[in-house]
Amino acid sequence: MRVLLVEDDIRVAIALETALRQHGHEITRATTASEALAAAPVDLVLLDLGLPDRDGIEVCRELRARSDVAIIAVTARAEERERVLGLRSGADDYVVKPFGMAELTARIEAVMRRTMRTAIPQPSFRVGGLEIDADARRVMVSGREVALTRKEFELLAALARRPGHAVTREQLLAEVWRTTWRGSLHTLEVHVASLRSKLQDSSYIQTVRGVGYRLRAQ
């Protein structure tokens, strides 16, 4: 999993990074709020709330406003008010310093289980130069990994569950955005456009006029 580790205490950050790498995660580190907000999309953000340049709660809100990436807030303050604020600001869970790796790992697993509950039954799919590894949540184009947001990945995975078959827009909205509101159709179109451009070949995702989309099967 790709993890963005936002922590201004270098010693804590290095210890966490080492431990998370040992658990097989890929780590990007940020030491300030601005670095955190400028970072590439990841699967999980571990967000220290005590940052030097901005309030961590604001950073949390901003990250949440942009995407529904999994966020675990990390704080040195255990007060209940902080916890509530943290959860209202969009964090999926909370750990209080000092915490052990066993606790953090358990929280990460729980959060990812919740946020990935639409996980993909198919382990992998390949067509042309496109390769989707659903277990690792990785997408490769011509052997190079493409960084997708969580929604982009889920959209691609929803199409890859029925390669060659038209999937209706309503079904995609239901599976990826969990909504039946047709006002979200624009969001779907925007995600399809950005996926097509990231996959560098617009023929992978075909438009089925008046119906929805289809992933090329061969």
Q: Is 48 in the site for Ca ion (CB under 5 A)?
A: yes
Q: Is 35 in the site for Ca ion (CB under 5 A)?
A: no
Instruction: Give the span between the Cα atoms of 203 and 215, in whole angstroms.
Output: 9
State the angle between helix axes of 80-88 and 56-66 in degrees (0 to 180), rounded to the nearest 10. 20
Binding segment for Ca ion (CB under 5 A), chosen from 31-39, 50-58, 108-116, 125-133, is 50-58
Q: 4 or 188: whose CB is closer to Ca ion?
A: 4
Q: 31 or 184: whose CB is closer to Ca ion?
A: 31
Buried b (16+ CB within 10 A) or exposed e, 131-149: bbebeebbbebeeeebebb
Instruction: Give the span between the Cα atoms of 8 and 11, in whole angstroms.
Output: 9
Q: Is 8 in the site for Ca ion (CB under 5 A)?
A: yes
To Ca ion, the closest distance from the beta carbon of 33 in angstroms equals 11
Q: 95 or 127: whose CB is closer to Ca ion?
A: 95
Instruction: Give the span between the Cα atoms of 127 and 216, in whole angstroms.
Output: 7
* SS3 category, 166: strand
Q: Is 50 in the site for Ca ion (CB under 5 A)?
A: yes
To Ca ion, the closest distance from the beta carbon of 10 in angstroms equals 10
Q: Is 131 in the site for Ca ion (CB under 5 A)?
A: no
DSSP letter string over 115-131? HTTT--S--EEEETTEE
To Ca ion, the closest distance from the beta carbon of 1 in angstroms equals 23
Which residues make up the interface to Ca ion (CB under 5 A)?
8, 48, 50
